[in-house]
Structures are given as structure tokens and as C-alpha cells.
Structure 1
Amino acid sequence: MAAEEGEGAGGGTGRVSLPVMETERLILRPLRIEDAEALHPMYSDAEANTYGSHPATMTLDESRARLEKGIADPTWRAWAVTLKGDDTAIGTVACYEKRQGKVTEIGYVLKRAFWGRGIVTEAVAAMIDLLFAEGQRRVFADTDPDNKASKAVLERLGFTLEARLRAEWETHIGVRDSLIWGLLEDEWKAARPRT
């Protein structure tokens, strides 16, 4: 991880600056509205958004509005995932502190052209490193039971399936159950996957 600080994800809204994180293949930098065009293929991909919080967008303007809303949300910290040597956003990772200084929820999404290369696992691992270095005691994710790709990422990262909440979410694909996955700091330190 790089010690360099980036511009706040809120783009001047007074939010705390986000660190720029570096992995073997990736740079994770603060997400910015200028990423909308690069991320539009991801936001408008129906399959990539099947199990997400939002349905696929139809236009670049909708993708820009979705990105702008996410950047402006003071409860989430969001990074663009980029390949080293290319500042073009290929996905995002984000986190939301559920209980101050103790428990954080994570989320992630990646453009289809980059699926199957371990990029999400590498990016999320960097974010988890940051969260535990900041003093979090628990990181968790909330996934749809049918989201096989997301479940595989969480298993590779050492998360434990803790609960199934029945009929938890009313989504764009209907009422859905929710799987809760958790990871504790000592578990991460003992078994952190090396990417």
C-alpha cells in the first residue's frame, strides 16, 4: 500500500482524503465523476448488476448520476480500481463503516472484460488491509445467495458465512434472501491470501 494520499471521494465536499493503495497489479485511487464514461460499460451491464443494489443503467447520463450519487454519499468511501500504468477505472471497491471504528461493510464490482483474473480479490484484499490497519475489528459483506462469483471472492479472502436472512431485500429482481459473510482481524492476519 502506498502512503500517498488522494483527493477525497466527495470531490471537495469536505470529506476525509482517501489513501491511494497499490498492489502487485493495481492502483486503487479515489473514485471521481470523470470515471463515469470508463465505468458506463460496467454500470450498464445487466449481468454484472443482477445482484447489485441497483439495476443496470441505460444511458451514460444515468451512469454518471449513479456515480455522482455514490461519490457524494458521506457514509461510503469508494475507490476506482485501475491497472498499473493505466489510470482508466475498470471497477470499484467501497466500504461503509457500520459501527464507528469497529465494523465495516464492503462492496465491489468489476467490468466484464476483467472477470476471472483475480483482480477483485486483489483489490478487496488491499482495502481489507487498510480497514484492519485503521483499527476495524470486523469486515463484512452482504451477498445474494445466487451470486456465485461474489461468494467465491469472499471464500478466497477467508470470509465465514455467518447467516442467511430470509426475504431481507426488495430489489430490482424481486424480494431476495441475503447471505452475511464476516471476517475478523485475527483471521485475516493468520490467513490473508497472497495475490
Structure 2
Amino acid sequence: MTEIETPRLVLRRFRVQDAAPMAAYRNVPHIAHYQAWPSPLTPEAAIHQARVYSGQDPEQPGWFQYAIELKADRSLAGDLGVNLHDNCLQADLGFTLAPALHGQGYATEAVRAALGHLFRRGLHRVSAECDARNTPSGRLLERVGFGLEGRRPEYTLNINTGEWTDTLLYGLLASRWQTLAG
């Protein structure tokens, strides 16, 4: 697997030693609130998840979870998932960043790098969904070029709170990406 590098980040395969920092940011209540994973993530479950992630293949259909690493200190900043569809021409994307790093452009940098990689390999379309209350994620998606395509009222059941939440649907075509990337 080729790593994806940006000026400040490396998107790479997960390692078992990423388990503890992953659990730390995924267990922050306002982060977990918008996600589909069970919370809290126990140390054992985090180790298991890091092992699962480390065995995924980014070239095959299905999910691949990139570890987002800061170049400055080699620490885990977050993760970015890509779900390659069976046709290998479309994908879904999701991301999570440690809250201490919010507002510094790291998530935008990671998403742009992943999109560039996906479109260079020939994808036609990338989609993303987010909880309608998660306005920072929605703004990030729009900032990198995604268009809001719809809203599904009470579509997602939050397994941690039992509440039904609205889901926003976003999409980005390769042709639009090429125009934006210029």
C-alpha cells in the first residue's frame, strides 16, 4: 500500500500501537455523539479494531481505514475511511479527527489528499454522509467540493443514545474535482 502524504500528514495503514490514541479521541463524548461506533471503546476493542484495520486492502472493494498521522511528531491525529464500491468506480468517505486538532485544517488536508488519490486512480464519484447536527463536518465537505444532495429525516439510529438522527447526503464527481483542482 502506498502512503498518501501531504505537507503535514501521512495517511497510512493502521498499526496496533494506534489503538490507545484511537480510543482516546473516539471516546470523547462530542466526537462519539455523531458516529456509528459503540462508545466507550474499550482498550481491548480498540486493539481488535486496529488489527482489523491493519488487515484491510485499499485496492479491494469494502472499507479501508487510513490512520492520519502528524508528520511533526508521528502521532495519530485521526482516521479516514474509504468504502470502495464493488464496481471500483465509486466510494464513500468518512473521517474523524482528535478534538485537540480541530480548527487547524488537518481534516481538510486529509480529505483533499484522499480525494486526490481516489480520483487519480480513476474513480467517478465519492459520496459522504454526516449527522445533520454535525455542521463542522458538513462545512468541511462543502469546502473541499462536495455538494449537498439530500437529507434523510430520522434515518440513522445512534447506537449509543438510541436517538434517530437526520443524515445529510453529499457527493462529488471526478469532473467537479478536476475543475476545482485545476
TM-score by length of 1: 0.83
Residue of structure 1 in register with 2:16 after alignment: 33
Residue 192 to residue 146, structure 1, CA distance change in 2 (3 Å): farther
1:142-153 matches, cutoff 5 A? 142-153=129-140
Tell me if structure 1 keeps the 8 A contact 2:14–2:53. Answer: no
Residue of structure 1 in register with 2:39 after alignment: 56
Q: CA deviation at 1:72?
A: 4.9
Tell me if structure 2 keeps the 8 A contact 1:138–1:185. Answer: yes
User: Following the alignment from structure 2 to structure 1, what is the Cα–Cα distance between the partners of residues 172 and 178?
Assistant: 10
Q: Which moved more, 1:152-161 or 1:58-67?
A: 58-67
User: Following the alignment from structure 1 to structure 2, what is the Cα–Cα distance between the partners of residues 87 and 167?
Assistant: 39
Residue identity in the other structure for 2:30: E
The percentage of counterpart residues that share the same residue type is: 29
Deviations 1:141-182 (A, max 9, x none): 011110111101101111000011223222223122211100
SS of residue in 1 equivalent to 2:31: coil
Q: CA deviation at 1:19?
A: 1.6
Residue identity in the other structure for 1:32: R
User: Following the alignment from structure 1 to structure 2, what is the Cα–Cα distance between the partners of residues 176 and 140?
Assistant: 19
Residue of structure 2 in register with 1:19 after alignment: 2
Structure having the larger proportion of residues in helix: 2
Deviations 1:14-34 (A, max 9, x none): xxxx32011111111111222
Tell me if structure 1 keeps the 8 A contact 2:13–2:54. Answer: no
Q: Which stretches in structure 1 are left out of the alignment for 5+ residues?
A: 1-17
> 2:128 is matched with which residue: 138, 141, 147?
141
Q: Kindly indicate whether residue 73 of structure 2 is the aligned counterpart of residue 90 of structure 1.
A: no
Q: Kindly indicate whether residue 81 of structure 2 is the aligned counterpart of residue 105 of structure 1.
A: no
Q: Which moved more, 1:77-86 or 1:116-125?
A: 77-86
RMSD value, Cα:
1.9
Q: Kindly indicate whether residue 158 of structure 2 is the aligned counterpart of residue 175 of structure 1.
A: no
Tell me if structure 1 keeps the 8 A contact 2:131–2:168. Answer: yes
1:158-173 matches, cutoff 5 A? 158-172=145-159, 173=161
User: Following the alignment from structure 1 to structure 2, what is the Cα–Cα distance between the partners of residues 141 and 134?
Assistant: 18
User: Following the alignment from structure 1 to structure 2, what is the Cα–Cα distance between the partners of residues 62 and 80?
Assistant: 17
Deviations 1:3-45 (A, max 9, x none): xxxxxxxxxxxxxxx3201111111111122200122211211
Q: Which moved more, 1:98-107 or 1:145-154?
A: 98-107
Deviations 1:86-126 (A, max 9, x none): 32211011100134221100011011111110100000111
User: Following the alignment from structure 1 to structure 2, what is the Cα–Cα distance between the partners of residues 47 and 72?
Assistant: 29
Q: CA deviation at 1:55?
A: 3.6
Q: Which stretches in structure 2 are left out of the alignment for 5+ residues?
A: none
User: Following the alignment from structure 2 to structure 1, what is the Cα–Cα distance between the partners of residues 33 and 147?
Assistant: 23
Residue of structure 2 in register with 1:189 after alignment: 178
TM-score by length of 2: 0.88
Tell me if structure 2 keeps the 8 A contact 1:22–1:28. Answer: yes
Q: How many residues align?
A: 176
Residue identity in the other structure for 1:181: Y
